[in-house]
Amino acid sequence: MPTVLHAPIEIAGQMGTLCQGLRNFGWTANGYNWFHTYLQYDSPIVQTDAYELMHVFEPLVRAADIIHFHNGDTMLTDYRDLPMLKALGKPMVMHHWGNDVRDVETLNRRLKYPLPPSYHTPDEIRAKLATLSQYIDHAIIQDHELYEFIAPYYKRVYELPLVVDTKALQPVYPNVSNPCPLIVHAPTSDEFKGTRYVERAIDNLRSRYRFEYKRIEKMNHKAAMSWYERADIVIDQVMCGTYGLLSVEAMAMGKPVIAYIRDDLRPTYPGPLPIVSADPDTLEVNVAALISDPGRRRALGMQGRRYAEQYHDTGVVVQRLIRIYEEILQEKQ
Amino acid sequence: MAFLTAVESGVQPHMIRCGILCSPSAPRCRRWRVDQLLPCLAFVQSGKVLDQCFEGVLFEADLSCRGEMISPRSMGFGQPPTARTWLDVVEELFRPEQNVPALLQTSQRLPAGRQVDLWIALPYPFENQPGFGTVRGKRLNFQSNPEHRTEAVVWWMEQVCRRWQRTSRRVPSHRVVFRGFAWTRSMLWPADHGVIREVAEWVHRNQLKLMWCYHDRTEGADSAGELGFDLCLNRPLLARGIHRIDAAAAFAEQHGHGVILAWDGARCPDSLTEVLQAVRNRIREAVQLLELPFGVVGQWCQQAEPAYRALYQYIRGIEAQNGDSKGGART
């Protein structure tokens, strides 16, 4: 079985879950993450820094049959590793995760509620993509939302859904007799997720409905998961137009999820996505509808669990990833 | 501030790293015998010892021959080790006729009055090891009980000290001073802070020292002394560019650290002689650890390569310029 090297940034525990999933299929896979956050994902990969990674670069490259980079970064600064890796004929794929390639200026011309500036300017993003695609032919994104930004650069773009180990998450469906549902919102970046709109809607609803609201912030992943487990409604982001790992985890736990899903993107997801779409204008009415309909909460929770099992489970996603790797490896032969 | 010097730190100024067992880059097992150690510790010509060369040795086990990760340098290249693996490392360090016993024998052949410092790198307690094994009747699980990591390292140091006492007594005329242990994980991973502090306390209680080897620019290196390290050595990012060595040297000088010089002919465009020539005046004062490919010094000596003399001159020349022909601090 081939050996896969993942580096250098883990986003939302995905690198570790993919590596473990590949190992379950008999592949040798290891990840090196130099980006550490308060989320502290309990991940079966090596937590490191750029300097340690630089010093193991050579043996790592020698050991790897395919290199899977994440978030627009590679192992050496200024992409100094890419010419070497290309010269060695090392198969590579770049996994873009969102703000590393999302051209917010372009997107905001179409969005009613503009997204905050990213950590890269559009010019920086274009320059990075131009450099990366000189050396890397293949890219992976989680869904179609990012496609427009990277398609002009790479030879082939694959969509690989976010991954969650559904077997490790027991569904806890909302209790239909709960008179005071718990609403959870967990922004890692409140501006990007639209937290102020979420909380405006929550404030407006307080006088009319009985519910509890919990904003999860600066909490490690394990502690946050215990809150999701107790939730009756989970609100993800309401501005960007697609859904993130919070939605996937919440669905896997059997929770009804609210997020803003762009109309043009909905047909691009596999199967009927059971996420209630709401933007800042429609959020209040959608939250109210779910508060007052416990039966629907439970039904959506069950649909969400099935959706997560069918499209986001480690086994399903990793099999798809293996097919991607096989295509890339075949092309290099 | 200035470089960490031999006099102030009470250690010998020039150490050589002796990797043992396997490494991620070299699958063959490395064992240091007298014939390999002697040309490192002494300047040898035509089989005759003319002078001392390196004054210290750091033994570090990277990867076991069964592919278990021992040193942090092997992170991700194998399986997590168990207590059995760690005991095997102790066995390997003290295996008759090689490594530490070979060092004891070699020291007897040094010019009169010369000594050698012995440093031993600590195995890294990998956090993701749930079944480390039984230590002092207790099953250790690093994943669920982070404090077990410290217990394991302290237990291992005790094994080493016990073996050192037993082995060194058998060679009464040796001239090796066991200085202490080295923590060789460069990154100051937050979960390691507690381990390092407790390890440092144990080391100091036993009149030993704790050295830290790190890569240049590592976060927290400017305040690493707070964790209990007695000496910190900064490794330039890549030894191939002199400007990189210079940047690491500048940081080391600013923070009272020493310097690590790593050279490998397969990777460096410059010869070792050129590298040494370039840094000779820059880091003359600093405590230094040289990392060279296994066996290369012995080969140079045998083949009377100019690099061998250059290495010797670099080490002794620094001392001569200091006006101390006998080297740095002695005990």
Question: In this predicted model, what pLDDT tens digit does every residue of A282-307 receive, in sequence order?
Answer: 999 999 999 999 999 999 999 999 99
The reply to whether B25 touches chain A by the CB within 8 Å rule is yes
Average of per-residue pLDDT across A312-333: 95
Instruction: Specify whether the CB–CB gap between A235 and A213 falls below 8 A.
Output: no
- What pLDDT sits at residue B6? 83
3-state secondary structure of B131: coil
The reply to whether A47 touches chain B by the CB within 8 Å rule is yes
- Output b/e per residue, B127-165; b: 16+ Cβ within 10 A: bebeebbebeeeebebbeeeebbbbbbbbbbebbbeebe
- What pLDDT sits at residue B277? 86
A13 torsion bin: left (phi>0), alpha (psi -120 to 50), beta (else):
left
What is the residue extent of each domain of chain B?
Answer: 6-321
pLDDT tens, B179-224?
A: 999 999 999 999 999 999 999 999 999 999 999 999 998 999 999 9
What is the residue extent of each domain of chain A?
Answer: 3-163+313-332, 166-311
pLDDT tens, B41-75?
A: 999 999 999 999 999 999 999 999 999 999 998 98
Which of A245, A229, A237, A153 is closest to A187 using CA atoms?
A237
CATH of B6-321, one of 1.10.390.10, 3.20.20.70, 3.40.50.9100, 3.40.640.10: 3.20.20.70
Q: Which chain B residues are within 8 Å of A59, Cβ to Cβ?
A: 23-25, 77
Share of chain B above pLDDT 90, in %: 76
Rounded Cα gap, residues A53 and A225, in angstroms: 30
Question: Is A56 within 8 Å of B237 when comparing Cβ atoms?
Answer: no
Instruction: Specify whether the CB–CB gap between B96 and B147 falls below 8 A.
Output: no
Higher-confidence residue: B275 or A70? A70
The reply to whether B217 touches chain A by the CB within 8 Å rule is yes
pLDDT tens, A10-30?
A: 998 999 999 999 999 999 999
Q: Which of residues 164-193 of B touch A (CB under 8 A)?
A: 185-187, 189
Residue showing tokens 């295509």: A327
Indicate the average pLDDT of chain B: 91
Rounded Cα gap, residues A248 and A246, in angstroms: 5
Fold exhibited by the domain A166-311 = Rossmann fold (3.40.50)
Classify the complex by whether its ipTM is higher than 0.90, answering yes or no: no
Q: Which two tokens stand for residue B30?
A: 């490395």
Question: Is B187 within 8 Å of A49 when comparing Cβ atoms?
Answer: yes
Of A52, A58, A59, the CB nearest to B215: A52
- The yes-or-no verdict on residue A102 having pLDDT over 90 is yes
pLDDT tens, B240-283?
A: 556 678 889 999 999 999 999 988 887 777 888 888 888 888 88
What distance, in Å, lies between the first and last C-alpha atoms of chain B?
Answer: 25
Q: Which chain B residues are within 8 Å of A62, Cβ to Cβ?
A: 25
**Interface with chain B: mutation pick from A23, A52, A77, highest number of B CBs within 10 Å:** A52
Q: Which chain B residues are within 8 Å of A60, Cβ to Cβ?
A: 24, 76
| Separation in Å, CA of B154 to nearest CA in chain A | 23
| Separation in Å, CA of B21 to nearest CA in chain A | 16
Q: Which chain B residues are within 8 Å of A30, Cβ to Cβ?
A: 76
- What pLDDT sits at residue B252? 95
Q: Which of residues 267-326 of A touch B (CB under 8 A)?
A: none
Of B25, B189, B214, the CB nearest to A59: B25
Q: How confident is the model at residue B320 (pLDDT cuts 50, 70, 90)?
A: very low
Q: Which of residues 112-131 of A touch B (CB under 8 A)?
A: none
Q: Which chain A residues are within 8 Å of B237, Cβ to Cβ?
A: 51, 54
The reply to whether A49 touches chain B by the CB within 8 Å rule is yes
- What pLDDT sits at residue B168? 97
Which of B224, B241, B242 is closest to B233 using CA atoms?
B224
Instruction: Specify whether the CB–CB gap between A167 and A317 falls below 8 A.
Output: no
Task: Looking at the structure, give the CATH architecture of the domain made up of residues A3-163+313-332.
Answer: 3-Layer(aba) Sandwich (3.40)
Average of per-residue pLDDT across A206-218: 94
The reply to whether A222 touches chain B by the CB within 8 Å rule is no
- What pLDDT sits at residue A221? 85
- What pLDDT sits at residue A202? 97
- The yes-or-no verdict on residue A91 having pLDDT over 90 is yes
pLDDT tens, B12-50?
A: 999 999 999 998 887 789 999 999 999 999 999 999 999
| Separation in Å, CA of A227 to nearest CA in chain B | 22
Identical topology for domains A3-163+313-332 and A166-311:
yes
pLDDT tens, B103-155?
A: 999 999 999 999 999 999 999 999 889 999 999 999 999 999 999 999 999 99
- The yes-or-no verdict on residue A231 having pLDDT over 90 is yes
- What pLDDT sits at residue B242? 61
Residue showing tokens 């330039």: B236
